[in-house]
Each structure stands twice: as structure tokens, then as C-alpha cells.
Amino acid sequence: MKEKTILKKTLKPHWVWAIALGSSIGWGAFVQPTNWIAEAGPLGVIIGFTIGALLMMLIAVSYGFLIRKYPVSGGEFAYAFLSLGRTHAFISGWFLTLGYICIVALNASALALMFKFVFPGFVQNMKMYEIAGWDVYFTEVIIATIALLIFAYLNIRGTGLTGSIQFIFCIIMLLAVVLLTGLVGASPMAGLENIKPLFNPEISSYAAIISIVAIAPWAYVGFDNVPQAAEEFNFSSKKAFGLIIFALIAAAILYSLMILATAMAEPWLGLVAEQHIWGTGAAIQNVLGKTGLVILVTALSMGIFTGLNGFILSSSRLLFAMSRAKVIPTAFSKLHPKYDTPYVGIIFVSIVSLFAPWFGREVLLWVVDMSSIGVSIAYFYTCYTAYILFKWSDTQITNSAVQEAAPLKKILALIGIVSSLIFIALLLVPGSPAFLSSESRIALGVWIILGFIFYLFKRKEYNAIPEEELRYLIIGDDIPEEKKVR
């Protein structure tokens, strides 16, 4: 039997931490604060994100265990296969692929949005058309396209380059956010009085907090990029859990600081009523002038760059793993002849994302809202797999999978399962504070139908692969000599 393609081990621990943090933060922390504050009030948002981070940490227990046991590309795709088989592996991979690619596209569009605010005269010309109330300009399409092409090229060059860049960008982003919050807090024009009322006066405090907790899978999506890159660790996979927790803590602090800086800048009820194209930018500029805006733009740029970089890496590795398992065409598991990277997946993700800016930001937001379901499904599969592998008592081996005696971790995995199902319910149950819009539900339905059609097309070939061979291709289990096909 032909040996499977293996990725080189080039990622250092601090690079992996930066991949998790930078992917979790992205553009949302700098573009969305006024929208979140309008929904829940400043304290409601901070409490919601704190609870969300704690829930993600519970889920991260399962990730840490599975990364340690199975440091292979594919992450949740591989975990779903371990516990529930090949069909569920496909479902997990299908939803994650959409979620990751959407986030790549939305980060690119966020860069164009930033330029539209900072240089409106430059961006707001050559208007092409309007979609869902959003004016689409040719200039912003070009900005997003250039960003995508640059990061596609960097990722093809390899993780040695992109990993070090990711770490530098994260440090700059952290310093910029801390400096910005300090300057706003010290300004005589701003103050803690501006954050009152602490919650949205039109809804209950409970509903306000829950509406933010519901978007935690979207807000913190990115820490799950770590298992996608696990095959490329040049260090012990035992460190992965600590790196994820450290990244989640840093992400929660960054989100909270940006909410605080935005709300302190001016009375938030007036700010959200003005409906700025970029509310946080307007608030910071009013208080700190151009200096504050430069610091904010720097932080936003770093967030966008780390999001682009992290999700191009993770989506290409997911496609690589699915291709290696023969779920999708074998081209996706080919490595670049010089850089040994899965370049076909990187190019594919970039090309698909290049179409996104042409549809306008509102349409992108519908799709990304829907992709939160995919992320929650991936969390469920991961926690369920860990729950199956953890045992209440003595360690034992069953079906070639090590089952570890860890009753506390088994309980945490169970909590992770319940949390994932709650996230899904909050997005799909009518009447929920986070119920998906009709447009997002339509997008979800279209993606499910496409997945079903694709699976029917590939099912015969996929199911024909012997179980032992598929385990080898997905998680690296050795095939018994007598069952190898040469």
C-alpha cells in the first residue's frame, strides 16, 4: 500500500498559541463592539463573553486530550471518525470547511470596511451595485482581493514563515489594545459613567447575557485551529491544552477591553443610535483623535491579518486531511514540490473567498451566522469522542483506541456535549435570543442540501475503503501486515 502524505513538523509552541489567539480574535473584536453593546449593554457583553470563554475552556479539555492522543491533521474530522464512523466524519468536515472559508472571506471584507471608514473618499467610488442594502464598490473588492492573494502566497511558503508572522502580529495587537484602553480611560472626555446603563434596558439582564453567550462558538472559533495543525507540531502534543487555555484567556481579555474602551468613549446609547459605519472607530476618534484611530486601525489590521493567516492554514489542513482519506479529490493532499505545503487547498480556499467581496458584507454576515452551527457541531463531535474515550475507572484498550481512566475529564466532556447542544439550540430554536435570521437559515439549508448531494456522489467510493486503511489514512493507526494491499 502506498504510504500516506505527511506534513513537516515546523510549528513552535508560541506560534501555535498565536494561531489560536489570532484566529479567535480576528476582526470582530474591533468592528462589532457597538453592535454587541446595542444588543446586551456593556456589562452584558463582558459577562457573556466571560461565560463563553469558560464554556470554551470546558470544551478545550476534550481538545487537549484528543490532540495529545491523535496529533494529526483534520482535527474534528478525525475525532468524529474515531467515535461515530466515516459518515459523521464527512458531516463534521463538511460543516467545518464552510465555517472556515466564510471566516477567511469575512476577514478580507473587514479590511475593506476599515479602509472605507479611514479613507472614504478613496474607497467609496466606482460603485457597482447594491445587495441587501449594502453598496458594493470596486475599490473594496480590490482591497480584499490583494489581502487574500498575499496571505495565500505566504501560506504556500510554509508555516515557518506564517507562524513567526502570526506571533509578531498577535503581540502588536495585544499591545495596541492595552494602550488604547488606557488612553481612553485616562481621557477627561471619557469615563466609566458612559457605560451606564450596564445592560440593554429593553430586555432582561438574563436575555442580554444569553444573547452574547450564544455567539461564543463564533467569537472564539479559532482555538480549534490548533488540532488542524497538530501534525506539524515540532514539540510534544501534551502542551496543546495549555496553549489553548492561554489563548482563550487572552481572547476574553481582549474582547472585554475593546468593549470597555468603546463604551467609555461616549454614552453608549447615543453612540449606537447614531448607526456609524464603524461605531468603535467613530467613538475612539472622537476621544483620541487621529492618534487613537491609528492605534485602533493597527489593532484591527493585526486582528484581520491573524484571522486570515490562521484560517487559511486550518482550512487547507482540513481539506488536506479529508483528501488524504479520499473523501474529496486527491489533489488537495498534494504537497508543494519546494515548500511541502498543501498548496492546492490554500489556492482553493483563496479562490472561493475571492468571490465573497462581490456579494456585499450583509450577505457574508448571513452565511457566517449560519456557520456558527457548523462550529458547534464540530465541538459536539470532539466532546463526544473524548467522552467515549475517557473511562470512569481502570485504563483499558478497546477497538485499538486507548481509553483513559479520568472520571473528572469524562464529566467535563459531558458538560462540553451539553454546552454544544445548547449552542445549537440557541441558534435554531424559534424565540431564542440568538435565533438565526431567515436568510441565515436559508443559507444553512442550501449548504446541507449541497453536502447531501456531494456525499451521495462520493458514498460508493468512500465506503469501499477498508476500515483499517481508513484508520491509517485519518489517524495513523498501523494496518496489520496480512491486511495491507500492495
At residue 179, the pLDDT reads: 96
* Residue-range domain boundaries for the chain: 13-364+459-483
H or E segment at 74?
Answer: none
CB contact set of 338 (below 8 Å; sequence gap of 6+): none
Three-state DSSP state, 191: coil
Question: For 76-111, what is the HEC assignment?
Answer: HHHHHHHHHCHHHHHHHHHHHHHHHHHHHHHHHHHH
What's the grid cell of residue 14?
508560541
Q: Helix 467-475 to helix 279-324 angle, to the nearest 10 degrees?
A: 140
What distance in Å separates the CA atoms of residue 7 and residue 229, rounded to the nearest whole number?
9
pLDDT for res 54:
93
* Residue 351 · residue 122 · CB < 8 Å: no
In angstroms, the Cα distances linking 82 to 52, 75, 236, 383, 406 are 27, 11, 22, 12, 19
Question: 13-364+459-483: what CATH class?
Answer: mainly alpha
Distance CA 18, CA 11 (A): 11
Beta strand pairing status for 401-405 and 390-391?
Answer: parallel
Chain centre to alpha carbon of residue 10: 22
Residue 310's Cβ-side half-sphere holds a number of Cα atoms within 13 Å equal to 34
Q: What is the pLDDT of residue 396?
A: 52
Task: Identify the pLDDT of residue 251.
Answer: 96
Distance from C-alpha of 233 to C-alpha of 13, rounded to nearest angstrom: 8
* Dist CA 486 CA 183 (whole Å): 67
User: What is d(CA 387, CA 59) in angstroms, rounded to the nearest whole number?
Assistant: 11
Q: Position 351: which residue type?
A: I
CB of 245 closer than 8 Å to CB of 233: no
Q: Locate 363 and state its grid cell.
A: 450577505
Residues 6+ apart with CB under 8 A from 432: 214, 425, 426
The secondary element (H helix, E strand) that includes residue 288 is: helix 279-324
What pLDDT does residue 479 have?
Answer: 43
Rg (the chain; Cα; Å): 22
Q: Side chain identity at 112, as an amino acid letter? A: A
Measured CA angle at 107 (ends 366, 116), to 5 deg: 95
- Per the DSSP assignment, residues forming a β-bridge with 403 are 396
Contacting residues for 340 by C-beta, under 8 A, at least 6 apart: 7, 8, 158
Residue 446: the pLDDT is: 86
CB 285 within 8 A of CB 266: no
pLDDT along the chain (486 residues), means of 10: 77 95 88 89 94 91 92 92 92 87 84 81 84 83 93 92 94 96 91 89 89 82 89 92 95 96 90 83 91 94 93 94 90 92 94 85 71 84 92 61 74 91 86 80 86 87 88 72 38
DSSP string, 198-254: SS-TTS-HHHHHHHHHTTHHHHTTTTTHHHHTGGGBSS-GGGHHHHHHHHHHHHHHH
Q: How far apart are the first and last CA of the chain?
A: 4
